[in-house]
Chains A and B, each alone.
Chain A
Amino acid sequence: MSEPVEGVDHDVEQQPEADRIRVMVVDDHPVWRDGLKADLERMGAAIVVSEAADGGEAIDRARDAMPEVILMDLRLPIVDGVEATRRIVEESPHVQVLVVSASGEEADVLEAVKAGAAGYLLKSATAEEITDAVRRIHAGEPVFTPSLAGLVLAEFRRVAGKEPNEPVLTARENEILKLVAKGYSYREIAGKLFISVKTVQNHVQNILTKLQLRRRYELMRYAIHKGLDRAPEPEP
């Protein structure tokens, strides 16, 4: 790792620290955290204000450090990433959680997105890709990968049409999600459908919101099924 530091500094335009995106890195591997921190700060767009090795730590430290974006690993020792995401987003809805997970954990990623994560990136992403994702997610743009789009599609089809009030995708959202799953960027989708990039982003944001709503429906149905919505019956 003998990268000429000066060269990097010339390549990347450093922003003043106050303008940088405040990022928190949650991962149980110190090596990985260090690497991610180095990458993000080297690219000059973000500053790592806090780190955590476990979901519980992440929830606590997010309160004090007030990050704008949290890079969240999912497999964490005590409180997992899905639960941490849920609690953090509940407490501070303005925090954007970007799941940075290894491949093969797609089912967990879907749970994390249902719990409120705004994006997903593979750990094998390059420093540029990660920085770009942090910028986009900070700007309120959901970061989807094609494989996540495929999972979300499958999720919406799983119980499609079974519940009258359950949020389902509109034809347009379905079309857009499928294009994302095929690997088209928002810009390319906008071009294909003759709509603005902003409209595409709004559609994707709506899809995410519906996905998060579905989780509430699932919990509600589960509660009704288990009779948790009724008061406990008096002992005979």
Chain B
Amino acid sequence: MNPLTPVWDLPSIRPRGGELLPTVDMDVIPPQVERARRTLWAGLLVFRWVSFAWFAANAILSELTFRYGPLPWIALALTGAWTLWLSLPPENQERPQAPWIDLLIGVGLIVVSGLVVPPGEVIGDTPFFAVSYPVSAALLWGAARGPGGGIAAGAVLSVALVASRPINDIPLQDLSHGQIFGLMNGAIFYLAAGAATGVFSLMFTRWAEQFRSLAEAAIHASEKDARLAARESMGRAIHDSVLQSLALIHKRARELGEDPTVPGSQVLELADMAREQEQALRALIMREPEEPPAGAASLRDRMEAIVRSVQRMPVTLSAVGPIWLSAAHVETIAAAVEQALDNVVRHSGATQAVVFADIEDSWVIVSVRDNGRGFTYDERDLQESGRAGLLKSMKGRVEDLGGRMRVKTAPGIGTEVEFRVPYDQAEVSSGGGSGE
């Protein structure tokens, strides 16, 4: 069957042009993403301050046990100053040099821990000097540079952590299984912390990209809506002035033309002209532009052009959808239909004709039907009037496309010429079809 349009695409309840979504500035991070990102950075700062408070409290409570005189206090003061600078304002965290300084301080604190804690006690009962503060560096790196940055910072901190053991006079080869396990635990903690904020930051970036592409699509759609709205308002204006009058001229002229007291031919010509102009103008302004599959042509539009070009007889087109086919197929079918209509105008004596175009059961079907006198199939009669060659020519055209021609007629019931062409060969791509 034909491709189906989404169920929700309801022409009657579609929002009016331009109101779809507000336009979005492409360079700005969407506010929803920005809010979430701010929350992450604020969270980092909270963690940092809690770590620092614990760090300071721990340092003050275990004052007497530290070595190297003023070194622990310098380290504590420096860390406090750094934490304060990062918080005033919190945007300082996002400065390009911040991650580097923070990593330096993190590594420094771990190394200083190895120095200031009494020898051999960094894994003993005494709490680790810098406590959890160095983790902040891994978190900051993750937030600023993504998972890669976070893991890299975590790795650097882990190396420092391992190095802090020998600094504390505990040779690595003397570590017990439990101590190695503790060390690895710390390292994994650093790595995981960096990776976690990294993943969040990556998520926000993706999220922002998604928002941006949605916004772009929305802008694209509202531009299209605006174009359609402009077209519609122009259409209305022309409709109200020109087209109404043209339609009236056409109608009146036809009536005059049928009046025996008025010289008919000239008036009919006027009527045809008015009709042709009216329809051409309508076709120009009324139809929403449809986007065809690449390389495809609309059989309906081509048929409409043909129907419009027929003078002297009202020809109606009815089509089931736009019917996208390859341009070559459309042209061949068009040539056959033109011949059929030409035959109707010349020979049938009909007062009207209908061209019907449809796709059904993988056949493209086009029929040309008139209400003329019809005919019985008489080879000689057809030869004499020159119609045998015409029939053969039409038949040849559709058979070139792997199709068939069928003529249904009898005296008094008019004639229906039907062309059938296989759809799968006429189709341009699998995405084509007759869907609206």
Of the listed stretches B58-66, B249-257, B325-333, chain A binds B249-257
Closest approach, in angstroms, between the C-beta of B413 and any C-beta of chain A? 7
Identify the closest chain A residue to B322 (Cβ): A154
CB-defined contacts of B357 to chain A, threshold 8 Å: 150
CA–CA, A160 and B275, complex, Å? 36
Chain A residues 118-163 with CB under 8 Å of chain B are 123-127, 145-151, 153-154, 157-163
| Binary contact track B1-24/A, C-beta < 8 Å → 1, others 0 | 110110110111100000000000
A107, B10: Cα distance in complex, Å: 12
Could you tell me the distance between the alpha carbons of A145 and B318 in the complex, rounded to whole angstroms? 9
Q: Cβ of B244 and Cβ of A111 under 8 Å apart?
A: no
Residue of A124, A151, A158 with most partner-chain B CB within 10 A: A124
Given contacts A102-B243, A154-B436, A178-B358, contact A124 B251 (CB under 8 A): yes
Interface pair A123/B251, CB less than 8 Å apart? yes
Complex CA distance for A219 and B317, rounded to whole angstroms? 30
User: Interface of chain A, helix or strand or loop or mixed?
Assistant: helix
User: Do A154 and B320 have beta carbons less than 8 Å apart?
Assistant: yes
CB distance from B9 to the nearest CB of A (A): 9
Q: Say which residue of A32, A82, A124, A125 sits within 8 Å of B275 (CB atoms).
A: A124
- Could you say which residues of chain B place their CB within 8 Å of the CB of A75? 236, 239-240
Say yes or no for A63: interface residue by CB 8 A criterion: no
B9 and chain A: residue at smallest CB distance: A158
Question: Is A102 in contact with B356, judged by CB distance below 8 angstroms?
Answer: no
Distance in angstroms from B278 CB to nearest chain A CB is 8
Contact A32 B248 (CB under 8 A): yes
Residues of chain A lying within 8 A (CB to CB) of residue B403: none
| Residues in B207-266 with C-beta less than 8 Å from chain A | 236, 239-240, 243-245, 247-248, 250-252, 254-255, 259, 261
Residue B353 lies at the interface, judged by CB distance under 8 Å to chain A: yes
Interface string of A42-66 (1 = CB under 8 A from B): 0000000000000000000000000
A-B contact count (CB 8 A): 133
- Do A181 and B356 touch (CB < 8 A)? yes
A183 to B415, CA, bound (A): 11
Query: Which residue on A lies nearest to B300, using beta carbons?
Result: A150
Residues of A within 8 A of B316 (CB): 145-147, 183
Q: Which of B285, B320, B354 contacts A157 (CB 8 A)?
A: B320
Chain A residues in 8 Å Cβ range of B12: 82, 111, 114, 215, 218
A90 contacts chain B at the CB level, 8 A cutoff: no
Q: Is B298 an interface residue (CB 8 A)?
A: no
Contact B320 A153, beta carbon cutoff 8 Å? yes
B residues 285-341 touching A (CB-CB < 8 Å): 285-288, 314, 316-321
Q: Which A residues contact B (CB, under 8 angstroms)?
A: 1, 3-4, 28-29, 31-32, 35, 75, 82, 102-105, 107, 111, 114, 123-127, 145-151, 153-154, 157-163, 178, 181-184, 188, 215, 218-219, 221-222, 225
Q: Would you give 16 A-B contacts (Cβ < 8 Å), ordered by A?
A: A35-B248, A102-B247, A104-B283, A114-B12, A124-B250, A146-B318, A146-B354, A147-B319, A150-B317, A150-B357, A153-B358, A154-B436, A159-B4, A159-B5, A160-B1, A183-B352
